[in-house]
Amino acid sequence: MPTERVIVVIPTYNERENLAHIVPAVTHQGYRVLVVDDDSPDGTGDLARRLSSSDSRVSLLQRHTKEGLGPAYAAGFDRAIEDGAEVIVEMDADFSHDPKDLPRLVGAIDNGADLAIGSRYVPGGSTPDWPLHRRLISRGGNIYARFMLGLEVRDATAGFRAFRADALQRLPYASAEASGYGFQVEMAWRAAQVGLEIVEVPIAFRDRAQGTSKMGPDIVREAMRLVTRWGYARWKRRLAFWNR
C-alpha cells in the first residue's frame, strides 16, 4: 500500500501539548494526517492549522461544537474518503498508540483484512502502565460486549484501528448511536454483522504522559447502556428463534 493512500484520522479536544509531537511522528512513517478538532479552547485547532500550512501531508477538519468521539470520527471518515484514502486509520493524539505500530496495522490490510484492530488482549498485546483494577474493568467490559453481542473480537473497545476504505463505507458510521468510546464497540459489531474480515494485531497500550483523559463516567455509562440494549435485542431474537 503506497503510504500516501493512507490517512490517519486523529480526533482532538484540548490536545495542544501532544499534537506538535504526534503529527510528525505519524508523517515520519510516511502517512497523511487528518486532525479533526472539536473547537478546542486551548488552541489545538490553531496549532493544527499551522502544522497543515507547513506540511502538505497534514490537514485539519475544524468542527465548531464538541459532539464526542463518534461524530468526530464520522466526519473524519467522510473527509478522508473524499481525499482519496484507500486505508483510514483511527488513532489517539496522546501517544497511547505508538506511531511505530502503524505499518503493522496497514500491513494487515495489505494482507487482506478489512479491519485491523490494535489489540491489547491477544497474545503479544499489553497494558504495561495500568494498575490491576483498570485492567479488570477493561477486560470485563470487553468480555461483556463479546457475550452480549456475540463478538469474536477480543478488544472491541480498542481505538487504534485501520479500515479498508471501501469496507468502511459498508458501515453505518454516520448514523452510529454511540458518541463516546462505545463507538468503537459499535463499529466492531457492525463490521462483524456485515461479514468484514477482522484481524487483531497485538500492541502495547500506554498511558498518556501529557494532557487530560477524556474518558469519564458518562462515556462508560453510554457504552454499557447501548451494549446492554443491543445485546438484549439480539438474545430476544435468538430465544424467539429457538422457541418457534
Buried b (16+ CB within 10 A) or exposed e, 69-84: bbbbbbbbbebbbeee
- The pLDDT assigned to 55 comes to 96
- pLDDT(241) > 70: no
Domain count of the chain? 1
Does the pTM surpass 0.85? The reply is: yes
- Give the pLDDT confidence of 10-65 residue by residue, as tens digits: 999 999 999 999 999 999 999 999 999 999 999 999 999 999 999 999 999 999 98
Give per-residue pLDDT as tens, 68-99. Answer: 999 999 999 999 999 999 999 999 999 999 99
Domain range enclosing 70: 3-242
213, pLDDT greater than 80: no
CATH number of the domain residue 193 falls in: 3.90.550.10
- Which tens digit of pLDDT belongs to each residue from 94-151? 999 999 999 999 999 999 999 999 999 999 999 998 889 889 989 999 999 999 999 9
**Quick one: cell of 14?**
484540548
Grid coordinates of 16: 495542544
